[in-house]
Structure 1
Amino acid sequence: MAQPNAVSCRVLWSPVVDRARVRALMSDEERARYGQLAAPEDRARYATARALVRTALGRATGVAPRAVAFSRRCRYCGGPHGKPRVPGAAARFSLSHSGGRVVLAVAEHAEPGVDVERVAAREVDRLAPRVLSERELADFREIRPEDRPAAYHVYWTRKEAVLKAVGRGLSVPLRGLTLAAPGQRAALLSWDGAPGAGGAGAPAIALADLRPGPGYAAALAVETPGRIELAEWDLDGPLDVP
């Protein structure tokens, strides 16, 4: 049970699995989307993600997984492009996948955002000025060049998790967010032009780094003024939600 001023959040990790039992949970619309994906690895990640979220939300709401209904009503404008949720349910969720990892975060009465990225040998010195604030960029340039790809992905996943928690995509400039440096406890330090802030400053966000395994970076954000009481589970597959 979560302590006072804490939000209990479960983070479920699944390997990528594409089997008939996994695909059977998809809705007709999801099956159509699955069929449009050309690459086998993309289809496998999509099938795993849909099975994981349906199994977990079915458990949380007492509904058969394939019968779980989702809404994408935007909290800001009411349009049909917002963060997915189950109407009427206390459970809120966020989903991400990269490479061979799929992750789902589920919280009660608070909006989570989760992101995982496989660390790649990108041109991070070129990309960093587009993503990092001036303060972050100064910290980034103090990092040894060989350690910068991992550090860049820490920044990226933390920022993506924050934007997912508040239901905003990359339409919000990433450089407006300033986060604690990699190696420090994850925290949102400031947010210029935060959505819905009304001039009152950044929304209340709690952040935590996750344990995705070697070669990956991952982060969790929860829209709350309290702290996160986190439990991470490594599953054998997307149907094995405890």
Structure 2
Amino acid sequence: MVRALDLLSFARPLVGDMPLELWLLDLSGPPPAEAIAWLSQEERDRAARFAFSLNRDRYLNAHIALRLVLKEYCGLAPQRQRFVPGPDGKPQLTEPADCHFSLSYAGDVALMGIDCDKAVGVDIECDRPIPDADELSVLHFHPREQLALSSLPALFRHGTGFLQGWTRKEACLKALGHGLTMPAAQIHSGLKGRRPVRMDGRVVLEVGCCPPLTGYTAAWARTIDHQDRHA
């Protein structure tokens, strides 16, 4: 079946109590050949290096869908969109420069966050057991998060409970532009709810869990001014 080259064939918006726009991207199926031409030579070269066609198709579909969503916000046709590494290495549009986005993959889907004012980060993970959740939390979670995680029932703690904390932390690091180069335990992003994140005594981020997604756990983060009303 040939996929139509329109936004709704690739993506659907997520609705919830969030200050940014979230889209769930469908990465299944073969990418439309004509849309591959929208991508840069660097993207096409990277896709060609994937050893398995499944991973190659997911990568291509994600970058095609990314352009279709961005077109809705910046008005640029997909083939006219150009990306460069930002100061922190994150890809950003050359124009408009204030159109911020973040992309995360998990299986046959990707999560995209977009904001036309503040830097954003998103992360999505496939739901699965995490047998070493306790050990990982000691390495990567803030002491308060470790305490909160330890209070959860074992089955939840070694699965969704840990993934909620992990995706929130990843989203924060992406919004800050640090990836995993910054010790994750320095950030207290919590395990649930929408909350401010403080660093050096001031609010720098807001973080929250995404609306429920069957088979997945996901979170978003967005930089904010320290005087923001949610702080």
Q: TM-score category by the smaller chain?
A: 0.7 to 0.9
* Residues 86-130 of structure 1: CA deviation (Å, up to 9, x unaligned): 124131111111112111111112111111111222221222211
| Residue of structure 1 in register with 2:111 after alignment | 103
Distance 2:72 2:198 in 1: 36
- Name the CA shift for 1:100/1:227 in 2 (closer, same or farther; >3 Å): farther
- Name the CA shift for 1:87/1:227 in 2 (closer, same or farther; >3 Å): farther
Determine which of 6, 11, 14 is the counterpart of 2:25.
Answer: 14
Mapping of residues 1-242 of structure 1, within 5 Å: 9-17=20-28, 18-21=30-33, 22-75=35-88, 82-89=89-96, 90-122=98-130, 123-148=132-157, 149-182=159-192, 185-191=193-199, 200-211=200-211, 213-225=213-225, 226=228
TM-score of the superposed pair, with normalisation by structure 2: 0.81
What is the CA-CA distance between 1:67 and the residue it aligns to? 2.1
* Residues 26-71 of structure 1: CA deviation (Å, up to 9, x unaligned): 2221111001011233212211210121122233222220221111
Q: Which amino acid aligns with 1:95?
A: L
Distance 2:203 2:177 in 1: 12
Distance 2:198 2:140 in 1: 15
**Comparing 97-106 with 206-215, which one deviates more in the overlay?**
206-215
Q: Which runs of 5+ in 1 are unaligned?
A: 1-6, 76-81, 192-199, 229-242
What is the CA-CA distance between 1:8 and the residue it aligns to? 5.0
* Residues 146-190 of structure 1: CA deviation (Å, up to 9, x unaligned): 0011111101110111111111110101111112333xx132444
CA contact (8 A) 1:135 1:178 kept: yes
Distance 1:206 1:42 in 2: 32
Look up the SS of the partner of 2:151 in the other structure. Answer: coil
Distance 1:142 1:49 in 2: 37
Distance 2:56 2:125 in 1: 18
What is the CA-CA distance between 1:227 and the residue it aligns to? 6.9
Distance 1:190 1:111 in 2: 16
Q: Which amino acid aligns with 1:132?
A: F
TM-score of the superposed pair, with normalisation by structure 1: 0.77
Q: Which amino acid aligns with 2:117?
A: H
- Name the CA shift for 1:58/1:11 in 2 (closer, same or farther; >3 Å): same
Look up the SS of the partner of 2:92 in the other structure. Answer: coil
Q: Which amino acid aligns with 2:167?
A: T
Look up the SS of the partner of 1:13 in the other structure. Answer: strand
Q: Which amino acid aligns with 2:53?
A: P
Look up the SS of the partner of 2:68 in the other structure. Answer: helix
Q: Which runs of 5+ in 2 are unaligned?
A: 1-17
- Name the CA shift for 1:56/1:38 in 2 (closer, same or farther; >3 Å): same
- Name the CA shift for 1:201/1:44 in 2 (closer, same or farther; >3 Å): farther
Distance 2:62 2:117 in 1: 22
The alignment yields a C-alpha RMSD, in angstroms, of 2.3
**Comparing 168-177 with 57-66, which one deviates more in the overlay?**
57-66
Distance 1:48 1:132 in 2: 33
Which structure's relative contact order is higher, taking Cα pairs within 8 Å and 6+ residues apart? 1
